[in-house]
Chain A
Amino acid sequence: MTTPLFAIGPAPLEVERVAVAAAGAAGTESGADGAVVTFLGLVRNHNVGRRVRYLEYEAYEPLALKAFERIAAEIHERWPSARLAVHHRIGRLEIGEASIAIVVRSPHRGDAYAACRYAIERVKQIAPIWKREFFDGGDVWIEGATANPDDERARAEAERVACA
């Protein structure tokens, strides 16, 4: 079975599979890419002074997948030769496990690095995915920024960070 470009599920992430998916993205000319940038987001053992035990992620999957597709379209506009693949894990994740794998391929490394950074910033802004932190002494839903996907200021901020 072909690995999809965008996926959400409970299975451990395999960055190689995400990379293969990105290699098969529409618009890829075989041999034309000179760079693959991967990003893995890991569960950290500390957050704002708390000792984290594990995290639980949940997603509104159909809308989150649409958010990934939207981010891919934004990247296509800004970096036309870059292609994106994103897999996000949900459920219980232990310290050190990967919650998200992002792969960007491009003919040149500059675009691949920038588009990869842009992708993670945008996922954090607009993908309906929540995490619950279980720490020593309790648990809390991490509620952060809520960005309207059409908010150009948020998008511009992600682009600023990506190109810094």
Chain B
Amino acid sequence: MRVTVRLFARLRDIAGASELSRDLAAGATIGDVWRQLTREFPDFAGYERSISTAVNADYARMDRVVADGDEVAFLPPVSGGSCVEGTNVYDGHRRG
């Protein structure tokens, strides 16, 4: 089966593409897609703990099984915000 991978911000820069297609074995999870990409793009590894993941534009966990034709998105930490220079409003949880 085949999925579309969407990449944003620095992940897109590292991969040199905002969209990729990847073939996967039946039963593959988002985590399997991520590990495959990390082998291709070793600089992805540093994002393991901080990315959020989505399937077909809904948040989903790494253990979610993907289906043929799914769009799998890897989302680096969002811009955050500072109401006072240099301080984050919220030092958030990370998504697994």
Interface residues of A, Cβ cutoff 8 Å to B: 47-48, 58, 60, 62-63, 66, 120-121, 124-132, 141-149, 151, 153-154, 157-158, 161
Instruction: Decide if B50 is an interface residue (CB 8 Å cutoff).
Output: yes
Chain A residue contacts of B86, Cβ below 8 A: 48
Docked Cα-Cα span, A151 to B86, in Å, equals 23
Tell whether, in the assembled complex, residue A147 and residue B92 are in contact, meaning their CB atoms are under 8 Å apart: yes
A-B contact count (CB 8 A): 113
Q: A63-B57, A130-B8, A148-B95 in contact; A141/B76 too (CB < 8 A)?
A: yes
Interface residue range, chain B: 20 to 34
Tell whether, in the assembled complex, residue B57 and residue A145 are in contact, meaning their CB atoms are under 8 Å apart: no
Tell whether, in the assembled complex, residue B93 and residue A154 are in contact, meaning their CB atoms are under 8 Å apart: yes
Docked Cα-Cα span, A60 to B4, in Å, equals 14
Docked Cα-Cα span, A115 to B80, in Å, equals 19
Tell whether, in the assembled complex, residue A128 and residue B92 are in contact, meaning their CB atoms are under 8 Å apart: no
CB distance from B52 to the nearest CB of A (A): 6
Docked Cα-Cα span, A158 to B90, in Å, equals 8
Tell whether, in the assembled complex, residue B89 and residue A121 are in contact, meaning their CB atoms are under 8 Å apart: yes
Looking at the complex, which one of A60, A126, A141, A154 makes contact with B10 (CB distance below 8 Å)?
A141
Docked Cα-Cα span, A155 to B10, in Å, equals 26
Chain A residue contacts of B94, Cβ below 8 A: 146
Which among B78, B83, B88 has the highest number of chain A CB atoms within 10 Å?
Answer: B78
Docked Cα-Cα span, A47 to B80, in Å, equals 13
Tell whether, in the assembled complex, residue B79 and residue A142 are in contact, meaning their CB atoms are under 8 Å apart: yes
